[in-house]
Chain A
Amino acid sequence: MSQFAQLGIVIRYEFLKHIRRARLYVILGIALLTELAVLILIPVLRDGYPNNVTVMAVLLTVGPSLAALGAVFFAGDAIAGEFESKTGFLLFINPIKRYILWLGKYLAGFIAVALLILFTYIIIVVSLLVIYQEVPFETLTSFGLCILFASATLSLTFLFSAISKGSMGATVMTLVFVWVISGILESVLGFTGNPYWFMISAGGDSIAMAYGGMESFMEGLGLGRFGAMMEQFQPLKVGEAAWGMTIYLVVGFAASVIIGNRRQLA
Chain B
Amino acid sequence: MTECIVIEELTKYYSKFLALDKLSLRVPQKENIGLLGPNGAGKSTTLKILCGLIRPSSGKAYIDGIDVVAQSEKALSKIGAIIETPEFYSYLTPEDNLGYFGRLRGMKGEQLKRRIREVIELVKLEKWGKVKIEKFSRGMKQRLALAQCLLHDPPVLILDEPALGLDPRGVVEFREIIESVGKEKTVFFASHQLVEVAQICSQVAIINNGQLLAYDSITDLEKKYQSLEQAYLTLTGGIS
Residue B121 at the A interface, CB < 8 A? no
B148 & A9 in contact (Cβ 8 Å cutoff): no
B53 & A88 in contact (Cβ 8 Å cutoff): yes
Q: Interface digits, A1-30 against B, CB 8 Å rule (1 contact, 0 not)?
A: 100001001100100110011000000000
| Complex CA–CA separation, A266 to B55 (angstroms) | 10
A264 & B104 in contact (Cβ 8 Å cutoff): no
| Complex CA–CA separation, A190 to B48 (angstroms) | 51
A16-B96, A264-B54 are contacts. A86–B87 as well, Cβ < 8 Å? yes
Q: Interface digits, B74-105 against A, CB 8 Å rule (1 contact, 0 not)?
A: 10110101011111110110001101110111
**Residues of chain A contacted by B79 (CB below 8 angstroms):** 93
A93-B76, A97-B73 are contacts. A87–B88 as well, Cβ < 8 Å? yes
Q: How far is the CB of B232 from chain A (nearest CB, A)?
A: 25
A89 & B87 in contact (Cβ 8 Å cutoff): yes
**Residues of chain B contacted by A20 (CB below 8 angstroms):** 91-92, 132
Q: Looking at the complex, which one of A10, A85, A93, A97 makes contact with B81 (CB distance below 8 Å)? A: A93
Q: Looking at the complex, which one of B53, B74, B91, B145 makes contact with A95 (CB distance below 8 Å)? A: B74
B87 & A92 in contact (Cβ 8 Å cutoff): no
Q: How far is the CB of B139 from chain A (nearest CB, A)?
A: 16
Name A's interface SS: loop
A266 & B54 in contact (Cβ 8 Å cutoff): yes
Q: Interface digits, A81-113 against B, CB 8 Å rule (1 contact, 0 not)?
A: 000011111111111110000000000000000
**Minimal Cβ-Cβ distance residue in B for A2:** B106
| Complex CA–CA separation, A88 to B53 (angstroms) | 9
**Minimal Cβ-Cβ distance residue in B for A92:** B53
**Minimal Cβ-Cβ distance residue in A for B103:** A9
Q: Interface digits, B172-215 against A, CB 8 Å rule (1 contact, 0 not)?
A: 00000000000000000000000000000000000000000000
- Please name 8 further chain A to chain B contacts, defined as beta carbons within 8 Å, in addition to the given A87-B87, A264-B55, A266-B48, sorted by A numbering: A9-B100, A9-B104, A20-B132, A86-B85, A88-B53, A92-B51, A96-B73, A264-B53
